[in-house]
A = this chain, B = another copy of it.
Amino acid sequence: MANVKLSKSEENYLKSIFNLSEFGNKQVSTNSISKVLNIEPASVTDMIKKLSKKNLIYHEKYKGSTISKSGIKIALQIIRRHRLWEVFLHDKLNFKWDEIHNIAEELEHVSSEELIDNLDKFLKYPKIDPHGDPIPNKLGEIDFVDKISISDLNINEKGIVSRIINEDEEFFSLLKKLNIEIGTEVKIIDKIEYDQSLEIHIDNKSVIISKDIADNIKITKI
């Protein structure tokens, strides 16, 4: 049972499974893992077997996978590393908030507990990363700031962007094009029945964004 070091691949799978499971509450399909990791389903099945044998997830054939207690614990540590490195890259090395994710994706696998604890201290124990995501502490405790997203606002309501969920390159460049970042004020102008698109104001300019985009942008109502 002694925590044997996980490979980079195992860590990436575990983190993705945790993220897809919504804090360990949902069963995760093989296909969904395949999609987020860009790895063929057959390969995902292989890794699921490996992680199951290590009791980091439970798997019922043809049904899906559930992350275990110890799996969650490890996933939270990987997320902690990722987000602390993102803070470092953003606050200390002056990277833009949309340039840090990929580098942190590598740095998160350098697993020295002392390294992360010292980094945490150096950064003065930050609570959120540059995308507004909460950072688990050493014990894996995490502030549950499940904010509402743009699509939860009603017409004429306003919010301040506080968190970006999707961290893909394309999503970042879309946000850039829309002039949306953490702190941006948005106002709902109209909700389009047809496909639930939203017309919103950013810097007093009107744009229409899809429901999917709106769901990926969390805000604080003002």
Residues on A facing B (Cβ under 8 Å): 89, 92-95, 99, 102-103, 106-107, 110, 112, 114-115, 118-119, 121-122
* A65 CB → nearest B CB, Å: 29
- Whether A103 contacts B115 by the Cβ 8 Å rule is yes
CB distance from A101 to the nearest CB of B (A): 12
Name the B residues within 8 Å of A121 (CB-CB): 93
Cβ–Cβ contact A93 & B107, under 8 A: no
Nearest CB in chain B to that of A102: its residue: B112
Q: How far is the CA of A89 from the CA of B89 in the complex (A)?
A: 15
> How many chain copies?
2
Q: Out of B94, B110, B119, name the residue touching A106 (CB < 8 Å).
A: B110
Complexed CA–CA distance, A92 and B102 (Å): 23
A115: nearest chain-B partner, CB-CB? B103
8 contacts between A and B (CB under 8 A): A89-B115, A89-B118, A93-B118, A94-B118, A99-B114, A106-B112, A107-B107, A110-B110
Shortest CB-to-CB span from A104 to chain B, Å, is 10
Q: Measured between alpha carbons, how far is A93 from B112 in the docked complex, in Å?
A: 13
Please report the C-alpha to C-alpha distance between residue A118 and residue B122 in the assembled complex, in whole angstroms. Answer: 17
Asked if residues B112 and A110 are in contact (CB atoms below 8 Å), the reply is: no
The 4 A-B pairs with the shortest beta carbon distances in the complex, nearest first, are A93-B118, A106-B110, A103-B112, A103-B115
* Seed contacts A93-B118, A107-B110; 6 additional CB < 8 Å A-B pairs: A93-B115, A93-B122, A94-B122, A103-B110, A106-B112, A110-B110
Q: Write the nearest CB–CB distance from A97 to chain B, whole angstroms.
A: 14
Q: Once the chains are docked, how many angstroms separate the CA of A103 from the CA of B115?
A: 8
List of B residues within 8 angstroms of A103 by Cβ: 110, 112, 115
Bound together, the chains give a CA A110 to CA B89 distance in angstroms of 13
When chains A and B are docked, how far (Å) is the Cα of A119 from the Cα of B94? Answer: 10
Shortest Cβ distance from residue A110 to the other chain B in the assembled complex, whole angstroms:
4
Which listed residue (B95, B99, B110, B119) contacts A93, Cβ 8 A?
A: B119
Query: CA A60 – CA B140 in complex, angstroms?
Result: 54
Pick the contact of A122: B92, B107, B114 (CB < 8 A).
Answer: B92
